[in-house]
């Protein structure tokens, strides 16, 4: 094992890592579940994957060939970039102490825009202090391993195409439908990012020029019409004008997309109308993108897809009406809670090994 990797780990941290429960300041670190994907009998290439999410940090050692998560640790995301980076380093070092083999590389899925070179974070929407942070340089300096980073939607797209619901399918269109709507295009196992890294931004196609304001500053983007935040916003606006809804019993700040979906499923007309409108826009947005790309498959991930058929049935119906390719399928993402770290692995394979 390389002294570069392990030289700065304290005995105290080493002993703590044995129990997989430790804390850094006020940050509690707990073991995450492990054991995704098919079992493997040998290690072909171990990658250290880091997932910087808005609410949690996760680190994992993953067998790159199979996508099997060998070990993983996670913690809540600290309040700023410096503390987040320190916490992630601690997770990584704790994993490396017990690593069964020497990892070949580090791959990072980052919850925010990343520069086209895959080395510098542009910013985080959720955690202050990340602006123009040379994250790949920091990790290479501190862990002594080559590193590549990608935006979380791009990383998830690569992961689903390499290990998940779109395994081996090309081109693949991936959308994450969550608080916002992100997207990624994978062609022949490679992320397609266009001339200046703006490709795949499915969430920012204009669907209603006079529609609601989007986080990007424009009006009527798909994200402003069908994301979790936009569903919540639309429901609150309807409630302000019409109290005849079960949602009116909730405090306004609890009227989120999950509550709207539940009320719609229970037959609430106001919630049903808001949900149906959002699903209509989502279907149109996917069909528009599919008519440009003609993907082999569209994979949908993100929190809203937990609504299951309540989301997929209307979306598939509208896609079938509007997409020119009658064979196009829209399927749920398969990687679940491990999509972030598997995205890190995929971006490492994609960038560092050209594999």
Q: Which residues bind Zn ion (CB under 5 A)?
A: 204, 214, 216, 218, 221
Please, what is the minimum distance in Å from the beta carbon of residue 221 to Zn ion? Answer: 3
Q: Is 7 helix (H, G, I), strand (E, B) or coil?
A: coil
Nearest CB to Zn ion, comparing residues 165 and 304: 304
Please, what is the minimum distance in Å from the beta carbon of residue 204 to Zn ion? Answer: 4
Residue 292 phi/psi, 5-degree rounding, is -85, -45
Cα 277 to Cα 290: distance, rounded to the nearest angstrom: 20
- State the residue for tokens 């070092």: 93
Nearest CB to Zn ion, comparing residues 213 and 292: 213
Q: 61: part of which helix (H) or strand (E)?
A: strand 56-63
Residue 308 structure tokens? 């299951």
Residue 94 structure tokens? 């704790």
Please, what is the minimum distance in Å from the beta carbon of residue 250 to Zn ion? Answer: 28
Please, what is the minimum distance in Å from the beta carbon of residue 223 to Zn ion? Answer: 5
Strand-pair partners of 121: 114, 133
Q: Is 213 helix (H, G, I), strand (E, B) or coil?
A: strand
Nearest CB to Zn ion, comparing residues 45 and 277: 277
Nearest CB to Zn ion, comparing residues 112 and 340: 112
Nearest CB to Zn ion, comparing residues 214 and 298: 214
Cα 41 to Cα 43: distance, rounded to the nearest angstrom: 7
How far CA 260 is from CA of 1, 223, 227, 307, 314, in Å, comes to 52, 17, 12, 11, 16
Please, what is the minimum distance in Å from the beta carbon of residue 313 to Zn ion? Answer: 26
Please, what is the minimum distance in Å from the beta carbon of residue 153 to Zn ion? Answer: 14
Nearest CB to Zn ion, comparing residues 106 and 173: 173
Cα 154 to Cα 19: distance, rounded to the nearest angstrom: 34
Please, what is the minimum distance in Å from the beta carbon of residue 302 to Zn ion? Answer: 16
Please, what is the minimum distance in Å from the beta carbon of residue 182 to Zn ion? Answer: 11
316-322 LR contacts (CB < 8 Å, sep 24+):
316/283, 317/283, 318/279, 318/280, 318/282, 318/283, 318/284, 318/286, 318/287, 319/283, 319/286, 319/287, 319/290, 321/283, 321/287, 322/283, 322/284, 322/287, 322/288, 322/291
Please, what is the minimum distance in Å from the beta carbon of residue 124 to Zn ion? Answer: 18
Counting beta carbons within 10 angstroms of the beta carbon of residue 309, is it exposed (0 to 12), middle (13 to 18) or buried (19 or more)?
A: exposed
Nearest CB to Zn ion, comparing residues 175 and 263: 175
User: Rg for the chain (alpha carbons), in Å?
Assistant: 21
Nearest CB to Zn ion, comparing residues 40 and 216: 216
Nearest CB to Zn ion, comparing residues 177 and 297: 177
């Amino acid at each position: 094992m390389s002294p570069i990797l392990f030289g700065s780990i304290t005995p105290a941290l080493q002993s703590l890592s044995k129990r997989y429960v430790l804390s850094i300041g006020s940050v509690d670190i707990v073991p995450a579940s492990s054991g995704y994907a098919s079992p493997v009998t040998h290690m072909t290439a171990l990658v250290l994957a880091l997932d910087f999410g808005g609410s949690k940090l996760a680190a994992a050692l993953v067998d790159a060939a199979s996508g099997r998560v060998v070990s993983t640790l996670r913690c809540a995301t600290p309040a700023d970039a410096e503390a987040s980076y320190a916490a992630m380093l601690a997770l990584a070092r704790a994993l490396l102490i017990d690593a069964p083999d020497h990892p070949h590389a580090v791959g990072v899925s980052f919850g925010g825009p990343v520069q086209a070179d895959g080395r510098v974070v542009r910013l985080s929407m959720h955690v202050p202090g990340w602006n123009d942070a040379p994250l790949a340089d920091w990790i290479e300096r501190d862990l002594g391993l080559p590193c590549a980073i990608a935006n979380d939607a791009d990383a998830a797209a690569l992961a689903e195409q390499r290990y998940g619901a779109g395994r081996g399918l090309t081109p693949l269109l991936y959308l994450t439908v969550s608080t916002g709507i992100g997207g990624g295009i994978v062609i022949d196992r490679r992320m397609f990012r266009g001339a200046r890294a703006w490709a795949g931004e499915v969430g920012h196609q204009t669907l209603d020029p006079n529609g609601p304001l989007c986080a990007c500053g424009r009006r009527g983007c798909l994200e402003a019409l069908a994301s979790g935040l936009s569903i919540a916003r639309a429901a609150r606006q309807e409630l302000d004008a019409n109290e005849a809804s079960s949602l009116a019993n909730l405090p306004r700040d609890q009227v989120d997309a999950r509550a709207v979906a539940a009320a719609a499923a229970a037959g609430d007309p106001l919630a049903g109308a808001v949900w149906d409108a959002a699903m209509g826009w989502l279907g149109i947005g996917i069909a528009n993108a599919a008519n440009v790309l003609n993907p082999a498959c569209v994979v949908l991930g993100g929190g809203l897809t937990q609504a299951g058929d309540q989301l997929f049935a209307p979306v598939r119906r509208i896609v079938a009406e509007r997409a020119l390719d009658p064979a196009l399928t829209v399927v749920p993402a398969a990687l679940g809670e491990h999509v972030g770290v598997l995205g890190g692995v995929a971006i490492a394979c994609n960038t560092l090994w050209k594999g």
